[in-house]
């Protein structure tokens, strides 16, 4: 019986070998026919062609779907289809050699495929790289003699580059390197569950992200700017929404606006402008990188936005999607995509709104931005070089911004005023002045939004607001130096504190030059809040409300808006309004104190700006925890704000620091109120110490 079984096994192996030979011959014939079809220029599709196993020395960077190794499958059924498990007789494992796993019946082979190969895998983008025991990877013996046979090594086949790796942990690390390089397209996958996925020649795949109703496709390494051209930062969502609201406010004043996103990257900001503001804006998205320009155009097709100046085959009768199909929907807007250096396009063309968001500092582009910006236009600048702005790289700060700074408790506002000083100097070189509408400094960026006022007179007025700051290093009191060219005998007299007289040596440093004017425009911020409510931007509404209170230096959370419909919107978003009469009075006084950007009132801008100087918010803020008294429990922050208001000071919270207080009180007055309402920490201690010994034992 044993001899008969051995004969049957030998016949089965001979049949398998003959079947493999015939399959290889048929594959070669199919490949030749496909080549002939390609030469003739025909477009008929050919079936998937299985190919021989690759040599172990061959390591290609990208492969086609027809070269898929049999150990890479998406489902267990796909692995079982490699062998006819429904047939009779013994069958060999397709992933094991004969000397490792002998031929067996179907039920045993099914368990072997499931328990050994299917469960021992590395998964990547829905593809399972099962362990393979075939002689794809051979390791010679350590003796090094030619007579010794090479031993087989279990391994995995990479789904991206087809390299064979023995250890599972090494394969996982290898796949992570592919992700960092952007080579994440599963080259062997026949279908994908990700919608709007388009393969590209570099073996990459797109990831679709939706923000503010706008879809953008992203590369897998989009969050690493050193490894991708189309950089995208999810943490900058607040920045994009603030910029959008500022543009929406300007679009109410004049339309259509010509606006420029000078550094498009994925183009999401320009697409949001065009998709929501429609005919009110003419959007131009610029980027110098060819890959970014291509990505921006693809994102335009994804959002049914027509690219101005290009009419490809996708756009003959409609707007094409990423799959190549033509949509009959009419384009919702038009965007102009330009491949040009940012400085060049701002020198060549005039715009009403310019947004600068380079990677790092924006000082290299300020001169070009103010060269052709139209009168009463807006320039928004986003700076992400937080290392130099937040006093971590002082030499870089001096090189880029020309400012001497130190680390202080108010370092974020110091960064905003430093950027504004660079913006004001760049505008003055072009005979233009600025009016600051918004200045926000958060963890990842500093955003400033300014309105441009043409004329040398406006430029001189802005230049006068650049002053040096005197900062005491002992108590952190600070004050802007007075205007004048005469040298004072003792600058310490300008500081309200008495640290110089009581402490030895030099106690203060001179910082700057910094922007000494206001950081906010209350009327503009109120209209930004209306735009945020209108476009359902719930994320930035608390921030804008904080900015309005900070601009007025008040704790009253009343945001007046004219009209009953606007008033109802404020009530819905949680704004507390005292009475309608006070709302109308505050609204009328606010509008009378702010500039109206209509054509008939543009000539009264300088006069109104001068009348607002007495209502400016105080410069800088104090941190309640920084100036706390040792051994004393401080009052709650809201209670402390109430105590300062009762003492007759203007006070508000600040977005720069959650524990900061913006007030017109000096540091000595601030500490006096804080000391008055602080409670000693040991006041409740004697009560706990009077517990009887018996009570302590029971506890």
Instruction: Parse the chain into domains and list their residue ranges.
Output: 72-135+153-180, 207-309+332-483+492-515, 622-680
Residue range 563-585, pLDDT digits in tens? 333 433 333 333 332 323 333 33
Chain length of the chain: 699
Asked whether the predicted pLDDT for residue 479 surpasses 50, the reply is yes
Report the alpha-carbon angle 419-425-426, nearest 5: 90
Note whether 207-309+332-483+492-515 and 622-680 share their fold.
Answer: no
Tokens of 18: 């003959």
| Contact yes or no for 165/158 (Cβ under 8 A) | yes
Give the C-alpha separation, 8 to 329, whole Å: 66
Give me the mean pLDDT over the 435-463 stretch: 95
**Cα 275 to the chain's mean position, in Å?**
20
Rounded distance, CA 679 to CA 685, Å?
Answer: 12
Query: 3-state SS of 145-174?
Result: CCCCCCEECCEEECCCCCCEECCHHHHHHH
Higher pLDDT, 465 or 4: 465
Tell me the C-alpha distance between 80 and 70, whole Å.
Answer: 11
pLDDT bin (cut points 50, 70, 90) of residue 151 is: low
pLDDT at 1 over 80: no
Greatest CA separation found in the chain? 117
- State whether the Cα torsion 176-182-183-184 is positive or negative: positive
**Interatomic CA distance for residues 123 and 21, integer angstroms:** 32
Provide the CB-side half-sphere exposure for 693 (13 A, CA).
Answer: 0
Burial of 449 from C-beta contacts in 10 A (0-12 / 13-18 / 19+): buried
Q: How far apart are alpha carbons 594 and 612 in whole angstroms?
A: 8
| CATH 3.40.50.150 is the classification of domain 207-309+332-483+492-515 | yes
Residue 684 pLDDT: 46
The set of residues, in sequence order, having a beta carbon less than 8 Å from that of 401 and lying 6+ positions away, is 361, 363, 388, 418, 419, 421, 422
More confident residue, 602 or 155: 155
Residue 675 has pLDDT above 80, yes or no: yes
In the predicted structure, residue 283 carries a pLDDT above the cut 80: yes
Residue 16 CB: number of other CB atoms within 10 A? 14
d(CA 447, CA 382): 5
Least confident of 244-253, 387-396, 455-464, 555-564: 555-564
* pLDDT given for residue 558 in this prediction: 67
Highest mean pLDDT among 114-128, 168-182, 378-392, 615-629: 378-392
Q: What angle do CA 616, 621, 626 make, to 5 degrees?
A: 170
Residue found under tokens 């425009």: 521
Average pLDDT over residues 395-423: 95
Q: What is the CA radius of gyration of the chain?
A: 35
Cβ pair 401, 388 in contact under 8 A: yes
Q: Give a three-class secondary structure readout of 667-693.
A: HHHHHHHHHHCCEEHHHHHHHHHCCCH
Report yes or no: 527 and 591 within 8 Å, Cβ to Cβ. Answer: no
Whether 231 and 254 have beta carbons less than 8 Å apart is answered as no
Q: What is the pLDDT of residue 374?
A: 95
Q: What is the DSSP letter of 490?
A: -
pLDDT value for 334: 93
Helices (DSSP H) in 430-467: which residue ranges?
456-463
Architecture of domain 622-680: 2-Layer Sandwich (3.30)
Distance between CA atoms of 266 and 299, rounded to whole angstroms?
8
Strand partners, 222: none
Calculate helix-pair angle for 522-534, 580-593, nearest 10 degrees: 120
Indicate if the pLDDT at residue 320 is higher than 70. Answer: no
Lowest-pLDDT range of 107-116, 123-132, 197-206, 599-608:
599-608
Average pLDDT for residues 49-63, to the nearest whole number?
A: 37
pLDDT digits (tens, 9 = 90+) for 224-278: 776 677 788 888 999 999 999 999 999 999 888 999 999 998 999 999 999 999 9
Asked which of 24-33, 348-357, 465-474, 681-690 is least confident by mean pLDDT, the reply is 24-33
Question: How confident is the model at residue 683, as a pLDDT?
Answer: 55
Max mean pLDDT range (9-13, 84-88, 395-399): 395-399
Pair type for strands 305-307 and 281-286:
unpaired
Predicted pLDDT at 615: 64
pLDDT at 128: 86
Mean per-residue pLDDT for 183-208? 47
The residues near 550 (Cβ < 8 Å, ≥ 6 apart) are: 520, 617, 652, 653, 654, 655, 662
Q: 290, 288, 424: which is closest to 346 by C-alpha?
A: 288
pLDDT in tens, 5-48: 444 445 444 444 444 454 454 444 434 443 443 444 443 443 33
pLDDT on residue 529: 95
Q: Do 518 and 436 meet the contact criterion of CB atoms below 8 Å apart?
A: yes
- What is the enclosing helix (H) or strand (E) of 31? helix 2-40
Q: Which residues contact 657 (CB under 8 A, 6 or more apart)?
A: 409, 410, 412, 621, 623
Whether 418 has a pLDDT exceeding 60, the answer reads yes
Instruction: Find all residues with CB under 8 Å of 349, minimum gap 6, and list them.
Output: 258, 260, 284, 372
Cα–Cα dist 490/468, whole Å: 15
Residue 310 has pLDDT above 70, yes or no: no
Please say whether the beta carbons of 454 and 431 come within 8 A.
yes
Q: Comparing 199-208, 375-384, 488-497, which segment has the lowest mean pLDDT?
A: 199-208
Which has the higher per-residue pLDDT, 169 or 385?
A: 385
Q: Return the structure tokens found at 293.
A: 């320009």
Separation CA 259–CA 624 (nearest Å): 42
Average confidence (pLDDT) over 482-493: 83
What is the structure's pLDDT at 138? Answer: 59
DSSP secondary structure of 278-312? GGGEEEEEE-S-HHHHHHHHHHHHHTTEEETT---
Say how far apart CA 40 and CA 546 lie, in whole Å: 69
The pLDDT of residue 238 is 94
pLDDT tens readout for residues 513-538: 999 999 999 999 999 999 999 999 99
- How far apart (Å, rounded) are the C-alpha atoms in residues 117 and 93? 10
Lowest model confidence (mean pLDDT) among 130-144, 275-289, 685-699: 685-699
């Amino acid at each position: 019986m044993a001899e008969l079984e051995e004969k049957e096994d030998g016949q089965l192996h001979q049949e398998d070998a003959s079947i493999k030979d015939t399959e290889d011959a048929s594959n070669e014939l199919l490949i030749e026919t496909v080549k002939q079809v390609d030469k003739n220029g025909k477009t008929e599709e050919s079936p998937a062609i299985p190919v021989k196993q690759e040599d172990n020395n061959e390591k290609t960077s990208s492969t086609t779907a027809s070269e898929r190794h049999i150990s890479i499958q998406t489902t267990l059924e796909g692995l079982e289809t490699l062998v006819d498990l429904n047939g009779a007789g013994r069958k060999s494992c397709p992933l094991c050699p004969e000397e490792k796993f002998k031929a067996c019946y179907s039920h045993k082979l099914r368990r072997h495929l499931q328990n050994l190969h299917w469960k021992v895998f590395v998964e990547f983008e829905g593809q399972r790289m099962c362990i393979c025991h075939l002689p794809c990877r051979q390791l010679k013996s350590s003796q090094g003699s030619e007579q010794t046979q090479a031993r087989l090594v279990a391994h995995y086949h990479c789904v991206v580059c087809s390299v064979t790796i023995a250890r599972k942990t090494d394969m996982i690390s290898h796949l992570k390197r592919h992700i960092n390089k952007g080579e994440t397209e599963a080259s062997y996958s026949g279908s994908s569950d990700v919608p709007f996925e388009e393969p590209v020649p570099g073996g990459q795949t797109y990831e679709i992200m939706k923000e503010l109703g706008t879809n953008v496709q992203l590369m897998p390494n989009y969050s690493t700017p050193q490894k991708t051209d189309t950089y995208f930062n999810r943490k900058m969502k607040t920045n994009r929404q603030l910029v959008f609201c500022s543009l929406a406010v300007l679009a109410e004043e004049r339309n259509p606006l010509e606006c420029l996103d000078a550094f498009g990257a994925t183009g999401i900001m320009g697409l949001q402008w065009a998709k929501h503001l429609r005919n009110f804006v003419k959007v131009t998205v610029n980027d110098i990188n060819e890959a970014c320009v291509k990505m921006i155009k693809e994102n335009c097709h994804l959002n049914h936005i027509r690219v101005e100046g290009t009419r490809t085959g996708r756009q003959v009768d409609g707007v094409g999607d990423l799959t190549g199909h033509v949509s009959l929907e009419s384009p919702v807007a038009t965007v102009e995509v330009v491949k040009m250096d940012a400085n060049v396009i701002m020198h060549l063309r005039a715009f009403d709104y310019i947004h600068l968001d380079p990677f790092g500092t924006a000082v290299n582009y300020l001169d070009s931005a103010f060269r052709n910006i139209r009168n009463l236009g807006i320039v928004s600048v986003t700076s992400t070089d937080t290392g130099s702005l937040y006093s971590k790289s002082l030499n870089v700060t001096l090189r880029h911004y020309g400012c001497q700074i130190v680390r202080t408790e108010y370092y974020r506002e110091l960064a905003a005023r430093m950027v504004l000083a660079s913006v004001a100097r760049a505008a003055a070189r072009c005979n233009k002045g600025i009016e600051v509408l918004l200045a926000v400094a958060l963890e990842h960026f500093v955003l400033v939004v300014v309105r441009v006022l043409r004329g040398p007179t406006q430029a001189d007025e802005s230049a006068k607001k650049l002053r040096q700051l005197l900062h005491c290093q002992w108590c952190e009191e600070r004050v802007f130096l007075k205007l004048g060219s005469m040298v004072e005998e003792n600058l310490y007299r300008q500081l309200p504190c008495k640290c110089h007289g009581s402490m030895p040596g030099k106690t203060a440093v001179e910082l700057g030059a910094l922007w000494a004017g206001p950081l906010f425009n209350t009327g503009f911020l109120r209209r930004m809040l209306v735009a945020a409510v209108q476009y359902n931007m719930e994320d930035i509404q608390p921030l804008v409300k904080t900015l309005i209170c900070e601009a007025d230096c008040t704790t009253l959370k009343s945001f007046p808006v004219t009209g009953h419909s606007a008033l109802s919107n404020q009530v819905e978003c949680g704004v507390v309004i005292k009475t309608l009469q006070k709302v109308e009075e505050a609204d009328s006084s606010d509008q009378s104190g702010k500039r109206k950007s209509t054509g008939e009132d543009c000539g009264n801008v300088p006069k109104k700006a001068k009348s607002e100087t007495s209502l400016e918010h105080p410069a800088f803020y104090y941190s309640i925890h920084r100036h706390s008294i040792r051994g004393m429990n401080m009052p709650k922050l809201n209670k402390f704000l109430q105590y300062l208001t009762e003492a007759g000071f203007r006070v508000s919270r600040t977005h720069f620091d959650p524990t900061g207080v913006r007030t017109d009180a000096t540091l000595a007055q601030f500490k006096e109120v804080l000391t008055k309402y602080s409670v000693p920490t040991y006041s409740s201690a004697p009560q706990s110490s009077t517990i009887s010994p018996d009570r302590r034992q029971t506890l």
